[in-house]
A and B are shown apart, each in its own frame.
Chain A
Amino acid sequence: ETGVTQTPRHLVMGMTNKKSLKCEQHLGHNAMYWYKQSAKKPLELMFVYNFKEQTENNSVPSRFSPECPNSSHLFLHLHTLQPEDSALYLCASRGLAGGPTDTQYFGPGTRLTVL
């Protein structure tokens, strides 16, 4: 248990649906990340938030929309997805750079299937 929770753990949605993924960290960290993990592909960084400000958008299609209302919560809003968006979506948080928690702590992921 890393202190990073993700809900739901599994999600099946049609291409016309709108859904949201939620990530919550109870570690007091200031940076939060969304990653996409597809079979047989490297981990893809999607978004980075640092102190609630988005610092990275790694050329992610606009059908993925992140939201970070505070340092503890991170959302990924999904709409009009494609079947190739099916993957494991991982959230991570990170403590202060240079400190003892300067590593990434991952949630268990949301397994997304787009039909």
Chain B
Amino acid sequence: AQSVAQPEDQVNVAEGNPLTVKCTYSVSGNPYLFWYVQYPNRGLQFLLKYITGDNLVKGSYGFEAEFNKSQTSFHLKKPSALVSDSALYFCAVRDDGNYGQNFVFGPGTRLSVLP
């Protein structure tokens, strides 16, 4: 069965500093990995995904994530945080994407960017 862990409930970072939101996963097949962001009273918005290819994936709003197969991790990063990046971030996984229908989401990490 697939599972996703986000070890930090909350991440605080100063504006302008780099940020990292951690995610580790467990799947039986090949992982399809996703990051989503949720602003208050809104649905989840897609940021980026890893399917195959380059381990460094670039996404929306200057975010990127690095797939590390040996560590089964898919950490979200941004070189310079903005106050407007403050939100709830979810990592998700699905295995063998051509057949798997179900996404498993992590519990979420709340990012606070302090001015």
* B interface, CB within 8 angstroms of A: 32, 34, 36, 41-46, 49, 51, 90, 92, 97-108
* A interface, CB within 8 angstroms of B: 2, 4, 6, 31, 33, 41-43, 45, 48, 50, 55-56, 90, 92, 94, 97-98, 102-109, 111
Check if B101 sits within 8 Å of A48, measured CB to CB. Answer: yes
Q: Which of B43, B46, B49, B98 has the most CB of A within 10 A?
A: B43
Closest to A40 in B: B107
Tell me whether chain A's interface is mostly helix, strand or loop, or mixed.
strand
Check if A103 sits within 8 Å of B34, measured CB to CB. Answer: yes
- Given known pairs A42-B108, A43-B90, the reply for A97 and B43 (CB within 8 Å) is no
Check if B43 sits within 8 Å of A31, measured CB to CB. Answer: no
- Given known pairs A43-B90, A98-B97, the reply for A104 and B46 (CB within 8 Å) is yes
Q: How far is the CA of A31 from the CA of B99 in the complex (A)?
A: 12
Check if A109 sits within 8 Å of B42, measured CB to CB. Answer: yes
Closest to B90 in A: A43
Residues of A contacting B107 with CB < 8 Å? 41-42
Q: Among the listed A31, A33, A111, which residue makes an inter-chain contact with B41, where contact means beta carbons less than 8 Å apart?
A: A111
Q: How far is the CA of A67 from the CA of B46 in the complex (A)?
A: 25
Q: How far is the CA of A33 from the CA of B103 in the complex (A)?
A: 10
Check if A106 sits within 8 Å of B101, measured CB to CB. Answer: no
User: Least Cβ distance of A100 to chain B in Å?
Assistant: 10
